[in-house]
Amino acid sequence: MVELNEVFETIDMVSHENLDVRTITMGISLLDCIDPDLDALCQKIYDKITESAKDLVKVGDEIGLMYGVPVINKRISITPAALVGGAACKCPEDFVQIAKTLDKAAKKVGVNFIGGYSALVQKGMTQADRFLIESIPQALAETERVCSSISLGSTRTGINMDAVRLMGDIVVKTAEMTKEADSIGCAKLVVFCNPPDDNPFMAGAFHGVTETDRIINVGVSGPGVVKNALSKVRGQDFEVLCETIKKTAFKVTRVGQLFAKEASKRLGVPFGIVDLSLAPTPAVGDSIADIMHEMGLEYAGAPGTTAALAILNDQVKKGGVMASSYVGGLSGAFIPVTEDRAMAEAAEIGALTLEKLEAMTCVCSVGLDMIAIPGSTPATTIAGIIADEMAIGMVNQKTTAVRLIPVIGKDVGDFAEFGGLLGEAKIMPVNKFGCADFVNRGGRIPAPIHSFKN
Q: Is the pTM of this model over 0.85?
A: yes
Model confidence band, residue 454 (pLDDT cutoffs 50, 70, 90): low
| Ramachandran assignment for 149, one of left (phi > 0), alpha (psi -120 to 50 degrees), beta (any other) | beta
Residue pLDDT, tens place only, 25-40:
999 999 999 999 999 9
Per-residue pLDDT band at 8 (split at 50, 70, 90): low
What's the whole-number mean pLDDT along residues 444-452? 83
Backbone angles phi, psi at 444, to 5 degrees: -135, 135
Task: Check pLDDT > 50 for residue 301.
Answer: yes
Residue (of 81, 75, 77) closest to 136 by Cα position: 81
Domains of the chain, residue spans:
4-8+21-193
Q: Which residues of 147-184 are buried (b: 16+ CB within 10 A; e: fewer)?
A: bbbbbbbbbbbbbbbbbbbbbbbbbbbbbbbbbeebbb
Residue 2 clears pLDDT 50, i.e. is over it: no
The whole-number pLDDT of residue 10 equals: 52
Q: For the residues 325-332, what does the mean pLDDT come to?
A: 73
Percentage of residues in the chain with pLDDT exceeding 90? 55
At CA 51, angle to CA 2 and CA 203, rounded to 5? Answer: 70
Would you call the peptide bond into 203 cis, given omega within 30 degrees of 0 as the criterion?
A: yes
User: Which one-letter amino acid corresponds to residue 334?
Assistant: F
Strand ranges inside 213-279, DSSP E: 214-220, 271-278
- The pLDDT of residue 272 is 86
Distance (Å, rounded) from C-alpha 198 to C-alpha 216? 10
Confidence (pLDDT) at 264: 87
pLDDT in tens, 53-102: 999 999 888 888 887 777 888 999 999 999 999 999 999 999 999 999 99
- CA–CA dist 105, 62 (Å, integer): 22
pLDDT of res. 16 = 46
pLDDT in tens, 396-430: 999 999 999 999 999 998 988 887 777 778 899 99
Mean pLDDT within 380-390: 96
Q: What is the pLDDT of residue 94?
A: 97
* Of the candidates 302, 305, 364, 295, the residue with the CA atom closest to the CA atom of residue 333: 364
pLDDT of residue 330: 72
Lowest mean pLDDT among 44-53, 92-101, 333-342, 366-375: 333-342
Q: Is the pLDDT of residue 15 over 50?
A: no
Average confidence (pLDDT) over 149-158: 95
pLDDT for residue 187: 92
pLDDT of 147 reads: 96
How confident is the model at residue 19, as a pLDDT? 67
For domain 4-8+21-193, give its CATH number from 3.10.450.50, 3.40.50.2000, 3.20.70.20, 3.40.50.720.
3.20.70.20
Please tell me the distance from the alpha carbon of residue 112 to that of residue 119, in angstroms, as a whole number: 21
The reported pLDDT for the residue numbered 66 is: 81
What are 203-219's pLDDT values in tens digits? 889 999 989 999 988 88
| Secondary structure letter of residue 428 according to DSSP | P
- Cα–Cα distance, 283 to 424 (Å, whole number): 11
Please check whether residue 410 is in contact with residue 427, taking contact to mean a CB–CB distance below 8 angstroms: yes
- Expressed in angstroms, the distance from the first to the final Cα of the chain is 36
Stated length of the chain:
454
Residue range 229-268, pLDDT digits in tens: 898 899 899 999 999 999 888 888 888 888 888 888 898 9
